[in-house]
Amino acid sequence: MRLFSALLLVALSGCGGDEPPVAEPDPLLVAALADLHLADARADLTGTARDSLRALALARHGLSTADLAEVLDGLVRDPEGATRLYDRVSERLAAGTAAPPRSVPSLPVKPEGAE
């Protein structure tokens, strides 16, 4: 019993105090994941192929599906990092600050009364 108490004391003594600062998620990854969420929502609303919209969202940020899979695999081993990342993506979406498109095609504007 003394051995168990001693081990418990040693284990608990390492649980507090001088923990390293928590790293913030990469803002580019946050933007890419926010765009992916928006792409999924657009696919659901418009019936557009989800895969093509996701590919466009990833390409906007210079990522591939393999890059995304690698990041997600890493997050499996870092639940706290995954939670921080999810929180930042949620905040970005709530603020309505997804990455703007690189170029927006301009539409011709008809003068009033013109047909």
The reply to whether 19 falls in a domain is: no
The reply to whether 100 falls in a domain is: no
* Chain segment 13-56, per-residue pLDDT in tens: 445 555 556 678 888 899 999 999 999 999 999 888 999 999 99
Structural domain count, the chain: 1
Domain containing residue 78? 24-95
How far, CA to CA in Å, does 96 sit from each of 30, 42, 51?
A: 13, 15, 23
The reply to whether 3 falls in a domain is: no
The reply to whether 2 falls in a domain is: no
The reply to whether 14 falls in a domain is: no
* Chain segment 56-107, per-residue pLDDT in tens: 999 999 999 999 899 889 889 999 999 999 999 999 999 885 555 554 444 4
Express as a percent the part of the chain with pLDDT over 90. Answer: 37
The reply to whether 1 falls in a domain is: no
- Can you tell me the distance from the alpha carbon of 63 to that of 46, in angstroms, rounded to the nearest whole number? 24
The reply to whether 7 falls in a domain is: no
- State the pLDDT at residue 100: 54
The whole model's pTM is what? 0.64
- State the pLDDT at residue 59: 92
